[in-house]
Structure 1
Amino acid sequence: MNTFIKKLKYTPLLAVLLVTGCTKNFEKINTDPDALNNVPPQNMLVNVMRNAGDQFGGDVDGYGTFAGYIVKIQYPDNLSGLIPTNNTYGNRWAACYYNITQMKDMLKKTDATAEGYKNTRAIARIWNNYMWSYLLDGWGDIPYSEAFKGRPDDGSVLKAKYDKQEDIFPAVLADLKSIADELAAGIGTDETLEYDIIYGPKNSGQDNVKLQMLKWQKFCNSLRLRMAMRISSVAPALAKSTIEEIAGNKTKYPIIETNAENCQMVYPGTLPYMEPWYKSGINGNRINNWGMFDIFIDHLNETKDPRIASIAQKNNAGKYVGFVNGSLTNPSPSTSISWIGLHYINNPAGAVPFYRACESYYTLAEAALSGYNVGISAKDAYEKAVALSMEDNDVAASDVATYLAGAGKFDGTKDRIYWDMWVALFKENFEAWSLYRRTGIPSTNYPSKIQNSATPHTDQPWRLPYPNNEYLYNTDNVTAAAAGTVDYNWGKRLWWAKDNGKK
């Protein structure tokens, strides 16, 4: 824990802007004599991971509301924040590009000694592709091919064009496959130890390095599964070949299959490094700002889903009760509705999940129903996914069996997979929002009933607003990319999203 904190205190030194000087003394004048001139690669790695955890892990009522999980109860949401700004969603755009920039810089600095930093470089490349997947799922068309060509030696492209999602997805999947093949051929000897705050071992030794890199290898292939299934309705051949390649050779392309392998960031548990939901909700005394979305609690009650005890708290009458998204009045008292479950919000040393094992099996279940050859039946994959999710929520085996024999029983439909996956993705709110946009599940989802937008909308946002900096400094390109959008977040769906008839 202390090592983790000591490393993080140096991360502000890494946020360096590379600019061209306007005088011959510019560089000398603007150089901090106390700053590190050459940051070690491992320090750069821990910086981007911490940044991602802070930016993406603290979301509660943004993506959590879009996904149908959580609503604001103290300050009802009127959707007024869904405009181009450099806060909230703009910050997350910036975080993605910042993290990719940092990792590209690190890769460039270690080109000459690539073999000595083989593992560190592999982790950096995987993380970059995770950032690209986040940008693609949030905004769709984005700067990609020209995104990092601003320096004179890179081409002096200061206003990067926006590439199409349908062109970027195959490129990212191809790079992930390249990394997966390289890892399958052998790993390096360099140790990142606790600088890798996701999978890094505390103790040195090549056996620990092997276990660490195996987990990164599994995340790499699991991310391929996620992205391939995301585009399965619009690029079926690529989706099928990718998923079948992975499922057909798990020795070469292992995936995340146990909760011990989940890709997540676990926090030390002391200020300022507390799990974000705890830090805001419990330590920041804001837990009564949020209530559970009525559609979510209704579904959990109707299906007698035992995960409800982890996901939500009972109200003051001992019942699980959800609340309206965008109610004109607050619940009185606030304890008359269910709040976020203590399992998810009451652990300062909790985790921010990026990918859980159950997702692998929900994906394989859907793939099997689609006719892909994945080496497991849809029923077996679905039941494995449910069991993993239940385990992650501390549900007893007997309760799992009861659920699978009742409302959770596999009925041979994709909707059954989607509904259960929706429950299982709680706290992976961004991914759950993507599931909704791709599948239309939960079909009961709806936007805030009070809206501050030019057009009344009957659906949750379809995309995120491009940040204001793009409109200020890359006007023509962002305007072209945003053509067809309505109120910045609706109108034109993302390439892979389903038209569910809502607007």
Structure 2
Amino acid sequence: MIRNIFKSTTVASLAALLMLGGCTDDFEQINTDPDALEVGSPTNQLGYVLRSTASQYGGFDATETWAGYIVKIQYMDNFAYLPTNNTYGNKFSNNYRSNVQLDDILQQTEVNAADLKNIRWATRIWKEFLWLWTTDQFGSIPYTEANKIDDGLLKPKYDSQETIYKGILQNLKAIADEMASEEGTDDIGEGDFLFNGDVEKWRKFCNSLRLRAAMRIVNVAPDLSKSTIEEVCSNLTTYPVLDESEDNAYFKWQGSKPYQEPWFDNFETRDDYGMSNIFVEHMTSMNDPRISVIMKPAESDNEYRGYENGALSAPSNLKSVSRIGELYREKADGFTPFLKSCENYFIMAEAALRGWNVGISAQEAYETAVKLSMDDNGIEEADAEAYLAADGKWDNTMERIYMEEWVALFKNNLEAWTLYRRTGYPKAIQSSGEYPGKFCIYGSTHNDVPFRMPYPDNEYVYNKENLNAAAPNLADYVWGEKMWWDTRTGVN
């Protein structure tokens, strides 16, 4: 079970103290528990941040709908297409709260940094992960001036995604180079809920994040994208990446309350979600064997059937819609995925198809990625091979890579939504559903799912000037301003 960072303490009231033994003017002494920790244990703090991140991104948060996977089938408040500027404030603030904790770990361990390399590397890597995920949701955010209240910066400026991405890639490379040339001897500790203290997996995770970030910016910073991906992939001995299902960066939940997997928490008491029609139709058309794991047949007739994206009314028969599969929703000790190994090989396949030198052909990388995804879902190797010889056969197109990557990213919904925003695939996300061309909010009409998550209310209240300067063309909180790396046209 996740440990508490600080001991809980009970401080007696001043009145009680007066009754017990007279007066004192040393209020600091009165309110200090001699048994309480002055600072948190670094491994406990790391564990707290990992769990906090998994909690924020592990549940239903609309990205599963924006990614084209899951739809609401009851209580049709249409929340997924009606985001407000206060809907996702906790996701924004979680990044900054977590970075305070991570900075505290680095500060605590700085004196003995040479003896505490491993936990410092893990901490620094997770900081970059948080920055990447946060900017991919909100766009421009406070970065270079963030969390500097002690310096008098109460209203930090917003940095462009170009600045943030370059900073992330620079920092990850520095960490990767250190881990390639040095060796740590310390135990990260029980708070490493991601890799259980396996430093080599943290090293692989670092380089995998480099691939993810680099491919994201391929359409706006192609030289940096190419050089980063080629550097990693041409020397996997120096820069290893997550490369098998056992390496997947999954937060695995403990399984008892309150540390149950968030989708399972919802499953225990709710039945509001079904599978999206575009997801079901794609998987059935491809005769994809993963379908039996990812979703269940409709109870009404044992057929796989989805429901309309963005529907304004519930289906007439709830039993006619497929539900989420047992592996993904019905396990209290299930997982929240942060990065799957197959993602690395989809990136390599795309890079190779672009003609880059990544030490592997596009076809081999693609087939490896699909096999890893099949393995993630418990599909037998023979069935994976049969799929690759039939409907999933390599056809030398980006579309084939993107569509397979979309399927493979299921439950890593933020990444799938981001894949769509970068590539425009699956095309059906924009062309299906009730919202395109007639989705009206605040007097405006939009033809696509949200481009971003809305900035939280507090930013409009306390840092509005900097927010407006960073995103002057926002429309209805989540449209108007696309991500820096989103170069699609024809969406609004």
Please, what TM-score do these two structures have when normalized by structure 2?
0.91
- CA drift of 1:193 comes to 3.0
For residues 208 and 92 of structure 2, the distance between their equivalents in structure 1, rounded to whole angstroms, comes to: 23
Gaps of 5+ in 2: 10-24
For residues 110 and 456 of structure 1, the distance between their equivalents in structure 2, rounded to whole angstroms, comes to: 52
- CA drift of 1:263 comes to 0.6
1:50 maps onto 2:39 in alignment = no
Q: Which residue type is aligned with residue 95 of structure 1?
A: N
Which one of the candidate residues 481, 487, 496 is aligned to 2:476? 487
Instruction: Report if aligned partners of 1:482, 1:488 keep a CA contact under 8 Å in 2.
Output: no
- CA drift of 1:297 comes to 0.6
Local SS of the residue matching 2:445: coil
Aligned partner of 2:321 in structure 1 is 337
1:430 maps onto 2:414 in alignment = yes
Aligned partner of 2:14 in structure 1 is none
Q: Which residue type is aligned with residue 56 of structure 1?
A: Y
Instruction: Report if aligned partners of 2:66, 2:450 keep a CA contact under 8 Å in 1.
Output: yes
Aligned partner of 2:178 in structure 1 is 182
Distance 1:106 1:10, change over 3 A: closer
Local SS of the residue matching 1:305: coil
Distance 1:25 1:81, change over 3 A: farther
Instruction: Report if aligned partners of 2:351, 2:358 keep a CA contact under 8 Å in 1.
Output: yes
Aligned partner of 1:74 in structure 2 is 74
- CA drift of 1:33 comes to 6.7
Q: Which residue type is aligned with residue 289 of structure 2?
A: P
Deviates more, 1:441-450 or 1:168-177: 441-450
Which one of the candidate residues 439, 445, 461 is aligned to 2:450? 461
Which one of the candidate residues 277, 281, 293 is aligned to 1:310? 293
Aligned partner of 2:246 in structure 1 is 260
Aligned partner of 1:208 in structure 2 is none
1:364 maps onto 2:365 in alignment = no
Aligned partner of 1:91 in structure 2 is 90
Matches within 5 A, 1:412-423: 412-423=396-407
Deviates more, 1:74-83 or 1:317-326: 74-83
- CA drift of 1:475 comes to 1.7
Aligned partner of 2:62 in structure 1 is 62
Matches within 5 A, 1:12-411: 35-58=36-59, 60=60, 62-76=62-76, 77-79=78-80, 81-85=82-86, 88-151=87-150, 155-201=151-197, 212-281=198-267, 283=268, 285-286=269-270, 288-315=271-298, 316-411=300-395
* CA deviation profile, 1:75-132 (whole Å, cap 9, x unmatched): 22155751221xx411011111111111012111221111222111110000000000
Q: Which residue type is aligned with residue 264 of structure 2?
A: Y
Local SS of the residue matching 1:363: helix
Instruction: Give the fraction of aligned pairs with identical amino acids, expressed as a percent.
Output: 46
For residues 448 and 481 of structure 1, the distance between their equivalents in structure 2, rounded to whole angstroms, comes to: 32
- CA drift of 1:329 comes to 2.7
Deviates more, 1:404-413 or 1:28-37: 28-37
Rg bigger for which structure?
2
Local SS of the residue matching 1:112: coil
- CA drift of 1:346 comes to 1.2
Q: Which residue type is aligned with residue 491 of structure 2?
A: K
For residues 258 and 216 of structure 1, the distance between their equivalents in structure 2, rounded to whole angstroms, comes to: 14
For residues 13 and 106 of structure 1, the distance between their equivalents in structure 2, rounded to whole angstroms, comes to: 20
Local SS of the residue matching 1:352: strand
Local SS of the residue matching 2:274: strand
For residues 34 and 500 of structure 1, the distance between their equivalents in structure 2, rounded to whole angstroms, comes to: 61
Instruction: Report if aligned partners of 2:96, 2:147 keep a CA contact under 8 Å in 1.
Output: no
Local SS of the residue matching 2:337: strand
Instruction: Report if aligned partners of 1:61, 1:70 keep a CA contact under 8 Å in 2.
Output: no
Q: Which residue type is aligned with residue 398 of structure 1?
A: A
Distance 1:26 1:472, change over 3 A: farther
Gaps of 5+ in 1: 15-23, 202-211
For residues 35 and 141 of structure 2, the distance between their equivalents in structure 1, rounded to whole angstroms, comes to: 36
Distance 1:98 1:28, change over 3 A: farther
Local SS of the residue matching 2:129: helix
Aligned partner of 1:19 in structure 2 is none
* CA deviation profile, 1:313-356 (whole Å, cap 9, x unmatched): 10020100010123233123311111111121111111111001
Q: Which residue type is aligned with residue 467 of structure 2?
A: V
Distance 1:160 1:118, change over 3 A: same
Aligned partner of 1:442 in structure 2 is 426
Question: What RMSD over aligned residues (CA atoms) do the two structures have, in Å?
Answer: 2.0
Instruction: Report if aligned partners of 1:80, 1:452 keep a CA contact under 8 Å in 2.
Output: no
Deviates more, 1:72-81 or 1:430-439: 72-81
Deviates more, 1:212-221 or 1:474-483: 474-483
